[in-house]
Amino acid sequence: MSNNLSRTKSLIRSIIEKGSMKQEVYHTTFDAFNTFKQVCSGFVTANKRAFKSAKYPLLFEYNDRGVFEFQLRFGSDILIFYMHSNVFEIPRDQAVMKSSYIHEDKSRSYCGIIHIYNFLSDSFRYNRSNDIGYCIGRVFVNRENHYFTEGKREIGLLYNNFQGNILDQKSIETILHSAIEYTLNFDLLTPPYENIKEVSVSEIQATLDSMTLRTGKRLGFRFQADTE
């Protein structure tokens, strides 16, 4: 009985400690995500006037889509920023797991994640539900507000000093600018002819009504090639 009581107390203590740690990670990530919202909204407000000089009307707007999502629309693109509500542990094969920063305190390997997706504006404008987008970056945030990123080119190559990187307003501005820069250089390519040479009557009829033929920036191409 004594052993069971001791084990119960140990389990309860572990639940409280781990649960509290994960709550701390969540709230730190949530605060960072709200700063992302403020930075993005401020970016649009500060620069929207410049778009009035464009020859043709161009989208440039910020949309708050709720607690865990916001959108930045510019030109023909949308960036969707999405915070996952759960906390994750960094996989053991990640390079940051070998750092002294993690070895000193394993709880630092638990992170919240902010995803950055790129879609075409027309996919939403014309309700093309079959169109695809791409996750161009992920931001990992731990309870100490340290962060690192994964992603394509500009996003993934610059922010991997987990021990030294603090996710403050300046670093969030840099991540936002890098995401926009990558998106601008990530152009829509014509899909290979072999992928589109055949289409059924039902597909073409549906296309006329709801644009169900898939469109994506690299549809039919190997997305991995963009890292080269």
Domain residue extents for the chain:
24-188
Question: What gap in Å lies between CA 186 and CA 188, rounded to an integer?
Answer: 7
**How much is the average pLDDT of 186-215?**
60
Query: Are the CB atoms for 145 and 25 separated by under 8 Å?
Result: no
128: helix, strand or coil: coil
pLDDT the model gives residue 191: 58
Question: What gap in Å lies between CA 24 and CA 81, rounded to an integer?
Answer: 21
pLDDT the model gives residue 201: 60
Output 225 or 219, whichever has higher pLDDT.
219
> Which of 1-15, 69-83, 114-128, 182-196 comes out lowest in average pLDDT?
182-196
DSSP state of 107: G
Percent composition of the chain: helix, strand, coil (DSSP 3-state, to 5)? 50, 20, 30
- Alpha helix positions (H), the chain: 2-47, 100-104, 121-125, 153-156, 169-185, 193-196, 201-210
pLDDT the model gives residue 224: 43
pLDDT the model gives residue 159: 60
pLDDT the model gives residue 116: 95
Q: What is the pTM of this model?
A: 0.82
**How much is the average pLDDT of 158-164?**
77
pLDDT the model gives residue 154: 62
